[in-house]
Amino acid sequence: MSKKKRKSAEQHNDEVLSELFGNIEDVDSDIENNITELGDMPDDDIKTAEPPKKHRFFFGFAIFTVIMAVIGIISCVSFISGAIRNIVDNTSLKNEFARFLLPVVANDIPAFEQPNDLPDSVKIRCSVWNILINKDISGYKISLDGQYQIPEYDIDKSCKELFGSEATLNHRTINYGDLQFSYSNHVYNCTRDLRYLNYAPKITDMTEENGVYKLTVEYISPSLSMLAEELDLESTADKSMIYNVTRVDGKITLLSVDFPPSSYANGIVNTHG
């Protein structure tokens, strides 16, 4: 085929392709543009990776929060339960009365209707032990033989705290058993030997009427009382007495001590003197 004819055939083919697809150069340009546009289009299926979060920290913090919440709930339940029990049996008030009565019960005082019916020796013993047990004694002088030197003024004050403002004392040296509270120059010399405490109080019943509390007080050996508290044992009382006290603005006063009704019913107490 001559060059002229080949040229004519190629030109014819180009014209056919141009009619079918348009200008080849334009097609190539369109393809390149489409490829460029596709590259610029966002890919919905491909997501940019987010920086990793501190999952362990937040997990640990969540566990800590849950634990603290559980502890808080347990504490609240325990506090509420204790408060309810305390309201039901007046444990706090009973303990307050028992602490107040310890110097009196420890001395195993006789029954009385008026404080000044008690012998001075009994009131002095109770007043001294009230100071030795319930007061700060660090300010008192100590004698060469290790006894506390308590002014009679403080003994008078202690007596009125226990038995009321009408209670009076005639000061003197007190001897009972192996113990002595010697009195000289308006000062008592007293040993703080707890072995001489005969009993500790255990309040088993309490009623209140017109501001007067009626307490059933059991007399427990101090060592047995402490052992029973530590080991949750049942302590056996040597006896029980009825104490009548008042409590005004937190101040407790002992009014009287009597035998329980069962003692009269059983004829233990002679009501005819």
The first and second tokens of residue 251, run together, are 């101040």
Residue 224 burial class via C-beta count within 10 angstroms: exposed 0-12, middle 13-18, buried 19 and up: middle
Provide the pLDDT confidence category of residue 139 given band limits of 50, 70 and 90. very high
Pinpoint the alpha helices (H) of the chain.
Answer: 3-21, 24-40, 55-89, 91-106, 120-134, 152-163, 222-231, 261-265
The residue with greater pLDDT, 192 or 61, is: 192
Region 206-216: mean pLDDT is 95
Q: Is the pLDDT of residue 34 over 90?
A: no
Residues forming a β-bridge with 39: none
Per DSSP, the three-state class of 216 is: strand
pLDDT tens across 38-84, in order? 555 555 555 555 555 556 656 666 776 777 777 777 766 666 655 55
Q: Is the pLDDT of residue 257 over 80?
A: yes
pLDDT tens across 142-183, in order? 999 999 999 999 999 999 999 999 999 999 999 988 889 999
Q: Which position has the token pair 């491909």?
A: 46
DSSP state, residue 260: -
CA 181 from chain centre, in angstroms, equals 39
Q: At what angle do helices 120-134 and 152-163 cross, to 10 degrees?
A: 100
d(CA 196, CA 171): 21
Judge contact between 112 and 256, C-beta under 8 A: yes
Q: Is the pLDDT of residue 33 over 70?
A: no
Per DSSP, the three-state class of 175 is: strand
Percentage of the chain lying above the pLDDT 70 cut: 63
DSSP state, residue 167: -
pLDDT tens across 225-248, in order? 655 555 555 678 889 999 999 999
Q: What is the pTM of this model?
A: 0.64
d(CA 180, CA 188): 10
Residue 2 burial class via C-beta count within 10 angstroms: exposed 0-12, middle 13-18, buried 19 and up: exposed
Q: Write the CATH number of the domain with boundaries 90-108+199-273.
A: 3.10.450
Per DSSP, the three-state class of 183 is: strand
Start-end of CATH 3.10.450 domains in the chain:
90-108+199-273
